[in-house]
Amino acid sequence: MLDDRRVPEIRREIREGFSRVVLAAALAIVIWGCAGVHKPGDDAWRSPGIGAPAGAPATGAPVSGAQAEVAQAAPTDRGAARGVSGVWQGISISDCVGEPSDPGRCSAMQRITLTMFQQGTEVTGFYKCAFGNQMCRHLDEAGVIHNGTLKSTRLMMRIMHEDGSMCFFTGRPDGDRFEGGYECLQGGGIVEQGTFQTRRTY
C-alpha cells in the first residue's frame, strides 16, 4: 500500500521528469530547426536571381546559348575597344591563282608578326616573317607598314620590303582576330598573293 507521506515526493519526481522530457523535446526541435536554416552563400537554398549579379543566371540553372555567346564574345569586345594596336601573330599562305612568278611557292606558308600602332584611323608599324614550310619570299624577313587605314571595319595597309617589293594586306579586324588577303607587287606586276590569319597576342 502506498505511503501517503510519499505522495508529495512522487508528485515532485513526476513533475521533474516531465520537465526534463519537455526540455529535451524543445532542445531537439531547436537543433533540428537550426540545421534547416538557410545560411548565406548556401546556393542550394537560393531562389532564381536572388543574390546573383544583374544579368547572371541563377546558381544551378542551365546556361542558355545566348548567355554562352555573350561570355565568349566578351574578350572580343574588349579587343575591339583597343583598336588594332598590338602584336599580331599568325601565318600567311600563298595561293596558285593565275601565273605566279615562282610556281614553287604555291601554298608556301610563312609565320608572320604584325606590330601595329593605331592613331585615329591611321595605322603604322612593322612586319616580320619567319620560316613556315618554306623560306620567306626573296628572304624578306622584315618590312615597314605604310599608309595603313582603318575605315569602318576594314583595314588596308601597305608593307614595304627591303628588296623594293610591296605587299598590300586587307582584312576586317574582329576583336583579337585579324584575317584577310594579301597581294605582293614588284616591277609593276603581281608576284604573289594569298591569305593570312593572325591573332593578337599582346
Q: Are residues 192 and 154 in the same domain?
A: yes
Residue with the larger pLDDT of the pair 95 and 73: 95
Q: CA dist 102 to 74, 112, 192, 198, Å?
A: 43, 20, 8, 25
Q: What is the pLDDT of residue 19?
A: 52
> Can you give the CATH number for the domain in which 174 is found?
2.40.128.30
The parent domain of residue 181 ranges over: 84-200
Is the pLDDT confidence value at 100 over 90? no
Average pLDDT score over residue span 111-115: 98
Counting the structural domains of the chain, the total is 3
Q: Are residues 103 and 147 in the same domain?
A: yes
Q: Are residues 147 and 53 in the same domain?
A: no
Q: Are residues 98 and 192 in the same domain?
A: yes
Is the pLDDT confidence value at 125 over 70? yes
- Give the model confidence (pLDDT) of 144-174 as tens digits: 999 999 998 999 999 999 889 999 999 999 9
Is the pLDDT confidence value at 121 over 60? yes
Q: What is the pLDDT of residue 81?
A: 62
As a whole-number percent, the residues of the chain with pLDDT over 70 amount to 58
Q: Are residues 116 and 70 in the same domain?
A: no
Q: Are residues 93 and 151 in the same domain?
A: yes
At 16, list the grid cell. Answer: 521533474
Q: What is the pLDDT of residue 82?
A: 76
Q: Are residues 108 and 144 in the same domain?
A: yes
Average pLDDT score over residue span 26-41: 45
Q: What is the pLDDT of residue 101?
A: 67
Q: Are residues 118 and 192 in the same domain?
A: yes
Q: Which of 51-60, 75-84, 109-118, 161-170 shows the lowest mean pLDDT across its residues?
A: 51-60
Q: Are residues 152 and 188 in the same domain?
A: yes
d(CA 99, CA 105): 11
Calculate the dihedral angle through the C-alpha atoms of 61, 63, 67, 72, rounding to the nearest 10 degrees.
130
